Amino acid sequence: MVMSVDLDRNVVLRGEVELVERAGRLFSACEEFACAATDLKTWALPGFRDRLVAERHRIDPPPAAFKLYSPAALADEESERHLVELARAGLRVRICPAPIPHETILVDRRVAILAGPAAGGVREYTVVRSPSVVKGVVSLYWATWETAVELAEYRRDRPPALSRESRRILGLLGGGLKDEAAARRLGMSLRTYRRRVAEILTLLDADTRFQAGIRAHEFGLIG
Amino acid sequence: MVMSVDLDRNVVLRGEVELVERAGRLFSACEEFACAATDLKTWALPGFRDRLVAERHRIDPPPAAFKLYSPAALADEESERHLVELARAGLRVRICPAPIPHETILVDRRVAILAGPAAGGVREYTVVRSPSVVKGVVSLYWATWETAVELAEYRRDRPPALSRESRRILGLLGGGLKDEAAARRLGMSLRTYRRRVAEILTLLDADTRFQAGIRAHEFGLIG
DNA sequence: GAGCCGCTGGCAGGTTGCTGCCACCGGTCC
DNA sequence: GGACCGGTGGCAGCAACCTGCCAGCGGCTC
């Protein structure tokens, strides 16, 4: 299926659903994918991200992916963990100290998608193909990228944002409780408890529980 | 076998061997055993302590044991671990800030054994049964005991004295290495490595490795 | 209701960590 | 030499921990 496209005509898509339908193909079949956003709530479409990540596995070589976020993307535990997992999966993630006003996506440096404000609950996405416009956006993007700091480096010195529950778990771990006792104390299953612990280890960049203990204390998450 | 004893005659024993032969029976068949010493090198007789501890298990109820040491008894890792294990076995252990000049042993508040200085490499032990003398020594002992501080409390805020090797192991643990990798790195067997780790956990009063990580960092044994 | 989604918890099969037991080795003392 | 002692390392059995898989459940949308 080949579409002829007027390069100078911007296309406006309304809502994430339409975006995925019309431009989703672009994302999975590209060599370079770059995006910028303030936080992770932007792509709220359920399951969409997972599908994209899953597709990365099937493509060889996987597209180079660059993700630029403001610090707000690490505001809560879940978002932060998600970023860490992205980085672990091979995506490049950087944090830009300045807030990022508009969400931006760049595909192969040829197509730009700019997100507008929500109009009546539905956000608008403008797909730009005009070479000169895209070129400008691209150069801006990379300039910002350069000044931003690598996720790992950004996270190195600051404690992860942990939920109340996670802090509670840290307390139990610090108390020397075995998993079974701790799970019982929290009224959850052993399986779930261990899921939580594994998530915390991920957030602490720890390979072993010993290391996690150090990190947790380092960050003042214990006493 | 019943011996008649002149209560006012002190008996002088030369060397630990003689002490054990003549007075060893007292230690195992008593209700209360109290001793004071500067460090753990006093009873250097190989295997003797182990035998005493083993006997405690067989006696019901085990004799109440009180051990009073100067801080020098925690000067090295091995001594400190030994004290911790004694305490864990149910013996009362306290640390007296003042140095303890003479080693003293009290059995059932009826017999006192006072160690003298080494004469030509062999130490002399004076066994005292004279009631008034024993009484005086006993009251002195308990006065000192009262002013001394419980081992656990004393250890609470100060890091254990770790050998170079133990600190090295802490480093590897902190690096997130699995036991096998760490053991290989140190050129020792898996079994021995785990022995070392277990010993360190004991010194850190940790039930789990996570807790040990916290403690180690707390004591500044990591960075 | 049907379908989808995220979360949960059981299960199974794995790895890692823990420890008692014992044989072995080098050193020391008689 | 022989006996003993402390330290080591292999082994075995167990406890603890880790994870992929999947069924089930409540919530949500259509």
pLDDT tens-digit series, residues A57-88: 667 677 899 999 999 899 999 999 999 988 98
Each residue of B175-197: pLDDT tens digit? 999 999 999 999 999 999 999 99
What phi and psi values does residue A111 have, to the nearest 5 degrees?
A: -125, 135
Strands A32-37 and A104-107: antiparallel
Closest CA to B80 of B152, B167, B172, B148: B152
Each residue of B51-75: pLDDT tens digit? 666 667 667 777 899 999 999 899 9
Give the residue with greater pLDDT, B141 vs A30: B141
pLDDT of residue B50: 67
The stretch B97-118 carries a mean pLDDT of: 87
Confidence (pTM) = 0.88
Confidence category of residue A116, pLDDT binned at 50, 70, 90: confident
Stated as kind and residue range, the H or E segment containing B95 is strand B92-95
Stated as kind and residue range, the H or E segment containing A39 is none
pLDDT of residue A8: 78
B99 Cβ contact list (under 8 Å, min separation 6): B38, B70, B72
Confidence category of residue B89, pLDDT binned at 50, 70, 90: confident
Average pLDDT, chain B: 88
* C-alpha atoms less than 13 angstroms from C-alpha of B185 in its C-beta half-sphere: 14
Q: What's the alpha-carbon Rg for chain A, to the nearest Å? A: 20
Strand D: residues with CB below 7 A:
A 178-180, 191, 194-195, 197-198, 201, 208-209; B 46-47, 50, 78, 188-192, 195, 208
Chain B residue numbers with beta carbons less than 8 Å from the beta carbon of A213 are 209-217
Closest CA to B176 of A223, A201, A167: A201
* Contact call for residues B210 and A204 (beta carbons, < 8 A): no
Between helix A48-58 and helix A15-28 the angle, nearest 10°, is 10
The stretch B205-219 carries a mean pLDDT of: 98
> Would you state the structure tokens that stand for residue B137, as one six-digit string?
């020594």
Distance from the Cα of A155 to chain B's closest Cα (Å) equals 18
B139 Cβ contact list (under 8 Å, min separation 6): none
pLDDT of residue A54: 66
Length of chain B measured in residues? 223
CA pair distance B122, B16, nearest whole angstrom: 8
Strands B64-69 and B32-37: parallel
pLDDT of residue A221: 97
* Contact call for residues B174 and B216 (beta carbons, < 8 A): yes
Closest CA to A53 of A88, A22, A81: A88
Chain B residue numbers with beta carbons less than 8 Å from the beta carbon of A176 are 206-208, 210-211
CA pair distance A124, A183, nearest whole angstrom: 45
Query: In DSSP terms, which residues pair with B33 in a beta bridge?
Result: B65, B107
Give the residue with greater pLDDT, A120 vs A204: A204
Chain A residue numbers with beta carbons less than 8 Å from the beta carbon of B178 are 208
Give the residue with greater pLDDT, B26 vs A209: A209
Each residue of B37-46: pLDDT tens digit? 888 766 656 6
pLDDT of residue B57: 67
CB of A204 less than 8 A from some CB of B: no
Confidence category of residue B159, pLDDT binned at 50, 70, 90: very high
* Contact call for residues A26 and A144 (beta carbons, < 8 A): no
Q: What's the alpha-carbon Rg for chain B, to the nearest Å? A: 20
CA pair distance B221, B223, nearest whole angstrom: 7
The stretch B106-124 carries a mean pLDDT of: 84
pLDDT of residue B3: 58
Cis amide leading into B46 (omega within 30): no
Each residue of A183-211: pLDDT tens digit? 999 999 999 999 999 999 999 999 999 99
Query: In DSSP terms, which residues pair with A12 in a beta bridge?
Result: A126
A48 Cβ contact list (under 8 Å, min separation 6): A16, A20
Q: Who among B207, B212, B218 is closest to A210 (CB)? A: B212
Confidence category of residue A223, pLDDT binned at 50, 70, 90: confident
Whole-number percent of chain B with pLDDT over 70: 87
Give the residue with greater pLDDT, B198 vs B65: B198
